[in-house]
Amino acid sequence: MAAVVVRKARDLLKRADLAKAPRRLRHKKKWAATEPKFPATRLALQNFDMTYSVQFGELWPSIRVSLLSEQKYGALVNNFGAWDHVSAELEQLNARDFVTKAHAHGEQEPESSQTSAPSPASWTCSPNLRCFTFTRGDVCRFPPARLGSLGVMDYYLMDAASLLPALALGLQPGDTVLDLCAAPGGKTLALLQTGCCRNLAANDLSTSRTGRLQKILHSYVPQDIRDRSRVRVTSWDGRKWGELEGDTYDRVLVDVPCTTDRHSLHEEENNIFQRSRKKERQILPMLQVQLLAAGLLATKPGGHVVYSTCSLSHLQNEYVVQGAIELLANQYSIEVRVEDLTHFRKLFMDTFSFFPSCQVGELVIPNLMANFGPMYFCKMCRLT
């Protein structure tokens, strides 16, 4: 009897203790499920620290602090405005046209240094592009672009490294051009600035992003130029472009969706490292391979494709290029050659910091003295 009383007394004491205990301690599983979550920017940094410290080794601390610091911009001069007057104003700010300077430097190289250079097709730049930057170590900012005397904006502010894929594409007069993942529109605008596009198709799956692209085109390109270049803006699934318009284009730019490394470290909005987008992030390389393969299928035999990302990840860069080339060889018996951009890198090494050990293509890495990028780009030629 005494034992029963003691047992009941213990039960009463336990119930009393539970009543006093905070609810969160009595339901540990529920409490764990609702614990505070890290912001996406912090998750991105943790991910980069784990992966990029291995990929880049001793270079990673420098790249890391640069990514977390303020980005540098370039001013792409609008050739459809009063470009000579705008260029003079930018020069008064002590900015310089890095494209023109690179061309002048390339022309001054002694002939002996040209003997081992790759074929001209691999490093010929798209013409007529003017982009001003401040010199290394100069952290000045450009004033916001304004409406010029001819009714279009004077210049477009962008990461100057984003111009390199458009330059590498090597447009020639009369080319038919596809920008497969065009929004928000900086590279599309650059392609139009060359004056080489007989037809330009600008596509992006997101209708909201193509809306932003349309606004940029209307702000920078006169209507008659848009009509003359036959600019077509669409919101189709880029993975199916090879089926829709195969063997059609002379030049194709495939600037794929990626982890947008710098954006992911600074912005919570539309951050791919949000927990809800984990699966989307994991399948990114597969999507990128499909888009690049579609771009290559849309290219005429003998045409050129430039693949680009704003990510440092070799899984989204070199591995995607190699995967797409293997896919076309195995499934379509199409041969693709990667072009050597070594000479191209030398042209622009005064402005950008390049990673020296890419397996294929070139990678601009952020550096505090030249805080552009990241920007990966690789040029390919479809042979068959």
Where in the sequence numbering do the catalytic residues fall? 310
Name the amino acid, one letter, at 186: G
Residue 235 is encoded by which pair of tokens?
A: 């919101």
Spatial CA neighbour of 201 closest among 224, 220, 173, 226: 226
Residue ranges of E strands in the chain: 74-77, 96-97, 131-133, 155-158, 175-179, 197-203, 231-234, 249-255, 299-309, 336-338, 362-364, 375-382
Q: End-to-end CA distance of the chain, in Å?
A: 95
Compute the distance between CA of residue 171 and CA of residue 194 in angstroms, rounded to an integer: 8
334 torsion bin: left (phi>0), alpha (psi -120 to 50), beta (else): beta
C-alpha distances out from residue 50 to 9, 36, 56, 63, 220, Å: 54, 22, 11, 14, 42
Q: What three-state secondary structure class fits 215?
A: helix
Compute the distance between CA of residue 368 and CA of residue 17 in angstroms, rounded to an integer: 58
